[in-house]
Amino acid sequence: MSDIRPDIEIRNLYKIFGADPGAHIEAVKAGLSKTDLNRKHGHVLGLQDINLTLPGGQISVIMGLSGSGKSTLIRHINGLIAPTAGEILYDGEDVCRMSEAELRRFRRKRTAMVFQKFALLPHRTVLENTLYGLDIQRVPRAEAEPIARRWIDRVGLKGFESHYPAQLSGGMQQRVGLARALANDADILLMDEAFSALDPLIRVDMQKVLLELQEELRKTVVFITHDLDEALRLGDKIAILRDGALEQVGTGQEIVLNPANDYVAAFVREVNRSRVIHAGTVARVPEPGESLPEASYPARLVLEKVARRMTRDGHRAARVVDRNGDTQGVIDLSAILEAMVNPATADSETA
């Protein structure tokens, strides 16, 4: 299997819900607002001119409040919802123009979905639920069962193969859902509010499981959430939606340090910045002839972890190094503390 996975390219995507959406698409493109579309024509604008690249092999998080269009958007990617206008390109094909037969193959072979409410079959055991997608593909049981058992083990459910969903906790049920999706070996993993129904501690545990698996698998993951902390922890790339339109796209650090508008700024105001900002962002360039500290930390390590390690090891300053071990700058505890509480400091360092 190639390490290079195609991007998902979403281009000029619109979705209007109503009796005759096609009759209003040009007016929407010309500037008809969501409010006026509903008031004058009784139609609802679900998505408005979405242009977004979801990188292959990475986790892209689409977030927003209820009604922002995030779940509508993810359901376009596997053709569960057809757009009013626009295209979704994957590996040279436009999902929006696939035939029914092509869509069935695409859903079975190229995508897998993990749902908020687990969507397990109550009459099937953990093993049988994990086998479900392979059964749909008519993979022989002798070939499919070892695959399913391997993924059950990988998500931490070894020994529970014969249990039924009602015998499992919510977190365990979601692990079954994840194992079922991974057993299909699909390129694209679609996760619609997958952890939102879980208790906070179990939710963090599932986030950790996903990140550990992704480190190895490098799937193209599209993750939907309304929780900014979850988005920042999981997302290589984050897209924020409001009323069906994109407000900002970027890394977590870019969004926290440079919110595009007041709406995004309100989202990030209460974020724990030490868990988002990287050491390389606040490191200063050493002065000529300056004696450099012996201690060093990776440039991509977040400030919270840098501060914890420096305190533990008794260092007041350290070098910040890139992946090759080359020094990028110097960081000290005072700079870390200032960046954690003073947005202007971090902003100036990234300018």
- Does residue 25 sit within a domain? no
CA distance 146 to 135: 13
Burial class of residue 188 in the structure, from the number of CB atoms within 10 Å of its CB (0-12 exposed, 13-18 middle, 19+ buried) = buried
Amino acid at 318: A
- Does residue 290 sit within a domain? yes
Q: To the nearest whole number, what is the mean pLDDT of the chain? A: 92
Instruction: Give yes or no for residue 349 having a pLDDT over 70.
Output: no
Amino acid at 194: A
104 shares a domain with 240 = yes
295 shares a domain with 255 = no
250 shares a domain with 310 = no
What pTM was computed for the model? 0.88
Name the domain boundary from 271, 287, 319.
271
Query: Any idea what the CATH number is for the domain that residue 155 is in?
Result: 3.40.50.300
Q: How does DSSP assign 251-309, residue by residue?
A: -HHHHHHS-SSHHHHHHHTT--GGGTSBHHHHPBPPPTTPPPPS-EEETTSBHHHHHHH
156 shares a domain with 205 = yes
303 shares a domain with 176 = no
Sorted by sequence, the CB contacts under 8 Å of residue 315 that are 6+ apart come out as 293, 295, 309
138 shares a domain with 190 = yes
CA distance 338 to 351: 17
- Does residue 223 sit within a domain? yes
Q: What pLDDT, on the 0 to 100 scale, is given for residue 208?
A: 94
Whether the CB-CB separation of 47 and 15 falls below 8 Å is answered with yes
Residue located via tokens 């695959």? 147
Whether the CB-CB separation of 59 and 223 falls below 8 Å is answered with yes
- Does residue 173 sit within a domain? yes
**Structure letter (DSSP) for residue 214:** H
242 shares a domain with 194 = yes
Tell me the average pLDDT across 36-59: 97
Q: What pLDDT, on the 0 to 100 scale, is given for residue 343?
A: 57
304 shares a domain with 220 = no
* Count of CB atoms situated within 10 Å of the CB of 267: 21
247 shares a domain with 113 = yes
- Does residue 91 sit within a domain? no
Whether the CB-CB separation of 24 and 37 falls below 8 Å is answered with yes
Share of the chain above pLDDT 70, in %: 96
Name the domain boundary from 236, 271, 306.
271
> Domain limits at 298?
274-350
Sorted by sequence, the CB contacts under 8 Å of residue 312 that are 6+ apart come out as none
Tell me the average pLDDT across 181-202: 92
Tell me the average pLDDT across 43-65: 96
- Does residue 47 sit within a domain? no
Whether the CB-CB separation of 162 and 145 falls below 8 Å is answered with no
- Does residue 157 sit within a domain? yes
289 shares a domain with 151 = no
pLDDT tens per residue across span 102-118: 999 999 899 999 988 77
- Does residue 286 sit within a domain? yes
Angle at the Cα of 322 from the Cα atoms of 320 and 325, rounded to 5 degrees = 90
Query: Any idea what the CATH number is for the domain that residue 318 is in?
Result: 3.10.580.10
Name the domain boundary from 237, 271, 305.
271
286 shares a domain with 264 = no
231 shares a domain with 298 = no
Q: Please name which of 15, 182, 13, 4 lies closest in space to residue 91, comparing C-alpha atoms.
A: 4
Provide the domain count of the chain.
Answer: 2
Q: What pLDDT, on the 0 to 100 scale, is given for residue 342?
A: 59
pLDDT tens per residue across span 329-338: 999 999 998 8
Tell me the average pLDDT across 42-51: 97
